[in-house]
């Protein structure tokens, strides 16, 4: 094996500055107003992402609509009547999201749900009722969201239903509650019809645990004549069905043999499905409506890479379209369907245009029991001069594990992949069993397999990368957030000889305490956690959870570990990181621990994210031999509190 280091292999590849990758985008989150007269987007003001608006025919005439200075606004949308903008915010990462409104003139900005310790959720909107929406509010009992009708003109909030047991609701276009859902004793879902404001005693539809994640309602047509379903019952992947609400007859609309149907495009007036999508390795768009199909085909001819529709006008003549060129920054275009013109609205990160971004390679990795793991590989710059999808010689590798675990990795521009590849590492993201989107068999193969077969999948991926000449055996790091942080801790405790180091971001160390401290609004879903993870209400379950918790094997850690945690995390409490750090210090095991007092489940303020990644890339460089920008003065701009182990990252 060559002694060439990662730094030697990519010495001719320019270093992409951290803040170009992790700083605020120039613009993002574009939306077009339902009436087509306005466009809105997110952009930084005072270093914080705020909402801006401009006439659709003159996007350069921007006006700032919000004045948030502490924490980025994560999401905004137009009111159905195009008269105001709505957005949500929490406080320092506590995930108690409240709903705010600003009028189109930008003269009145107010909180529509001014409650303490409350998290709102959107239940439904309407095509025919343009000045009202249905929202759920848990200010009465933190466990349950009471549906309320919100008048967007007056701000009046009217209780529709007092909820003392239900996990969720479904409504039709008249903003009438039609369904109430809750978990059953099997860990599945019972779906009860609501008739004349009363919930039926018996469920009309029901699933067991196996179908709980692949079956549910997908909404009504505007006239209420059709109810769409995603349904995995009696099959593996979730298909799309249309139910005639008068007769109950169901018609199969779409299915995919390897992936769940994951999205639809609906007629903006009638709500009828016009196209659908499914994602196995890459997303496939399939049109049902001829006109929609023609537009999608035209866009495919104009744009390189992947694209999708992010916002549409009521008359469906104008779309905002995102485009991911894969080796360039994401862009947004205004598409006029009548004139067939495509006008660039913005590029999210113009500073990355011309940067040495690397292609992502979709790969299928075999697990030891025959399961196929859809995965994504990005190679370090300069390591694959012949574009074969493999480096000319093995490279240090970072196994980047997604959170959830009931989520998934996808194909496309990924700033963590680009950052790590630019620093000299192969980067591998694996959809291990339990990841969603690949059918219920794939999800259910992970039941009671935390630290078991789920971790075996990650080890099998490492072995595959080594055998394929992609990764150096003794230079593989494991890194991830949430479940990915847990997987990192499992990797360093249960398989300490496999990984050279680990980076754990908001990962739980003790599954028993994790389940004891989940947010109250997750309580209606807790049975599924117990069935899929382990049941802490029984002595046997507690012993099992203890056996798969890294905390109790902390003394097995022999490799360097970096931990990042948000002090206000409502999902994985600070204690999850505190307790394993304390155990490692007690056992004399080196660890670096970074706490952010103004963050929650992940680091959303760019200055904090940049600071942690500065520490992380210098940590990885010390162990794996890649390259890193100096930490510099980025820590001073953040709230990072390095509580333990400054010496291990050169500080």
Q: What is the rounded average pLDDT of the residues 176-205?
A: 96
Higher pLDDT, 247 or 9: 247
Q: What is the distance between the alpha carbons of residues 620 and 560, in angstroms, rounded to a whole number?
A: 9
Nearest to 409 by CA among 420, 397, 417: 417
What pairs with residue 75 in β-bridges? 88
* Tens of pLDDT, residues 8-38: 556 789 999 999 999 999 999 999 999 999 9
Q: What is the distance between the alpha carbons of residues 399 and 628, in angstroms, rounded to a whole number?
A: 18
What confidence score (pLDDT) does residue 175 get?
98
Give me 6's structure tokens: 């990662």
What confidence score (pLDDT) does residue 6 get?
44
* Tens of pLDDT, residues 260-293: 999 999 999 999 999 999 999 999 999 999 999 9
Residue 475 has pLDDT above 70, yes or no: yes
Residue 648 has pLDDT above 80, yes or no: no
Residue 174 has pLDDT above 80, yes or no: yes
What confidence score (pLDDT) does residue 2 get?
47
Question: Choosing from 172, 231, 260, 569, which is the catalytic residue?
Answer: 569
Q: What is the rounded average pLDDT of the residues 89-114?
A: 93
Q: What is the rounded average pLDDT of the residues 573-584?
A: 95
Hey, which bits of 184-249 come out as E strands? 189-195, 198-199, 205-206, 216-220, 226-231, 239-244
Active site residue 601: yes
Residue 136 has pLDDT above 60, yes or no: yes
Mean pLDDT of the chain: 95
What confidence score (pLDDT) does residue 650 get?
65
Q: What is the distance between the alpha carbons of residues 649 and 651, in angstroms, rounded to a whole number?
A: 6
Residue 106 has pLDDT above 90, yes or no: no
Cβ 10 vs Cβ 382: under 8 Å: yes
- 572 CB burial (10 A radius; 0-12, 13-18, 19+): buried
Active site residue 482: yes
Report the C-alpha dihedral over residues 628, 633, 639, 641, rounded to 10 degrees.
Answer: 70
Active site residue 256: no
* Tens of pLDDT, residues 417-434: 999 999 999 999 999 999
Residue 107 banded pLDDT, cuts 50, 70, 90: confident
Residue 369 has pLDDT above 50, yes or no: yes
* Tens of pLDDT, residues 629-644: 999 899 999 999 999 9
Sign (positive/negative) of CA torsion 92, 93, 98, 100?
A: positive
- Report the share of the chain in percent with pLDDT over 70: 98
Q: What is the distance between the alpha carbons of residues 638 and 603, in angstroms, rounded to a whole number?
A: 11
Question: Choosing from 33, 40, 126, 482, which is the catalytic residue?
Answer: 482
Higher pLDDT, 11 or 335: 335
H/E stretch holding 324 reads strand 318-324
Residue 524 banded pLDDT, cuts 50, 70, 90: confident
Q: What is the rounded average pLDDT of the residues 85-110?
A: 93
Enter the pTM of the model: 0.96
Residue 302 has pLDDT above 80, yes or no: yes
What confidence score (pLDDT) does residue 9 get?
55
Question: Choosing from 285, 417, 601, 648, which is the catalytic residue?
Answer: 601
> Domains of the chain, with CATH numbers?
356-510+549-649 (3.40.50.1820)
Nearest to 324 by CA among 333, 337, 316, 315: 333
Cβ 443 vs Cβ 436: under 8 Å: yes
Higher pLDDT, 504 or 524: 504
């Amino acid at each position: 094996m060559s002694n060439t280091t990662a730094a030697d292999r990519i010495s001719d590849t320019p270093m992409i500055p951290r803040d170009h990758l992790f700083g605020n985008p120039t613009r993002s989150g574009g939306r077009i107003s339902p009436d087509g007269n306005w466009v809105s987007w997110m952009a930084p003001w005072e270093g914080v992402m705020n909402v801006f608006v401009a006439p659709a025919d003159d996007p350069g005439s921007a006006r700032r609509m919000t004045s948030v200075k502490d924490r980025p606004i994560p999401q905004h949308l137009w009111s159905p009547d195009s008269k105001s903008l709505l957005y949500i915010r929490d406080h320092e990462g506590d995930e108690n999201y409240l709903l705010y409104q600003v009028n189109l003139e930008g003269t009145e900005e107010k909180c529509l749900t001014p409650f303490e310790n409350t998290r709102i959720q959107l239940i439904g909107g309407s095509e025919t009722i343009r000045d009202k929406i249905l929202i759920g509010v848990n200010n009465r009992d933190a466990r349950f969201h009471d549906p309320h009708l919100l008048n967007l003109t007056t701000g009046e909030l009217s209780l529709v239903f007092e909820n003392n047991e239900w996990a969720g609701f479904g409504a039709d276009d008249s903003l009438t509650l039609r369904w109430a859902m809750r978990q059953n004793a099997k860990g599945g879902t019972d779906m009860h019809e609501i008739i004349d404001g009363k919930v039926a005693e018996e469920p009309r539809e029901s699933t067991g645990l196996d179908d709980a994640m692949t079956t549910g309602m997908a909404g009504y047509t505007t006239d209420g004549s059709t109810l769409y379903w995603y349904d995995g019952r009696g099959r593996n992947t979730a298909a799309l069905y249309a139910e005639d609400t008068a007769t109950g007859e169901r018609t199969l609309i779409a299915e995919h043999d390897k992936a769940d149907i994951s999205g639809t495009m609906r007629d903006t007036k009638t709500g009828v499905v016009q196209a659908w999508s499914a994602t196995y390795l890459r997303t496939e768009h399939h049109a049902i409506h001829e006109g929609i199909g023609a537009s999608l085909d035209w866009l495919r001819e104009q744009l390189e890479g992947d694209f999708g529709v992010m916002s549409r006008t009521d008359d469906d003549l104008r779309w905002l379209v995102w485009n991911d060129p894969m080796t360039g920054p994401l862009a947004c275009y205004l598409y006029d369907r009548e004139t067939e013109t495509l006008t660039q609205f913005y590029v999210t990160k113009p500073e990355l245009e011309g940067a040495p971004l690397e292609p992502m390679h979709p790969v299928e990795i075999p697990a030891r029991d025959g399961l196929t793991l859809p995965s994504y590989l990005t190679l370090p710059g300069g390591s694959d001069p012949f574009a074969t999808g493999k480096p000319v010689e093995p490279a240090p590798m970072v196994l980047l594990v997604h959170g959830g675990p009931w989520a998934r990795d996808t194909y496309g521009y990924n700033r963590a992949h680009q950052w790590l590849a630019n620093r000299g590492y192969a980067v591998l993201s694996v959809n291990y069993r339990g990841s969603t989107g690949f059918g219920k068999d794939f999800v259910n193969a992970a039941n009671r397999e935390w630290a078991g077969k789920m971790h075996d999948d990650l080890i099998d991926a490492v072995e595959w990368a080594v055998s394929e000449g992609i990764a150096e055996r003794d230079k593989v790091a494991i890194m991830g957030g949430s479940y990915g942080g847990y997987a990192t801790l499992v990797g360093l405790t249960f398989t300490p000889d496999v990984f050279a180091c680990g980076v754990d971001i908001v990962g739980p160390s003790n599954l028993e305490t994790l389940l004891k401290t989940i947010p109250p609004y997750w309580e209606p879903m807790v049975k599924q956690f117990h069935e899929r993870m382990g049941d802490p209400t029984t002595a046997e379950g507690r012993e099992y959870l203890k056996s798969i918790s890294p905390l109790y094997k902390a003394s097995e850690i022999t490799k360097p570990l970096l931990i990042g945690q948000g002090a206000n995390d409502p999902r994985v409490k600070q204690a999850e990181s505190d307790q394993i750090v304390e155990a490692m210090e007690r056992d004399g095991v080196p660890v670096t621990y970074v706490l952010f007092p103004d963050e929650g489940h992940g680091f959303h303020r760019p200055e904090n994210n940049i600071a942690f990644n500065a520490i992380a890339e210098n940590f990885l460089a010390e162990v794996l031999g890649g390259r890193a920008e100096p930490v510099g003065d980025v820590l001073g701009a953040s709230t990072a509190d390095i509580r333990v182990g400054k010496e291990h990252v050169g500080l």
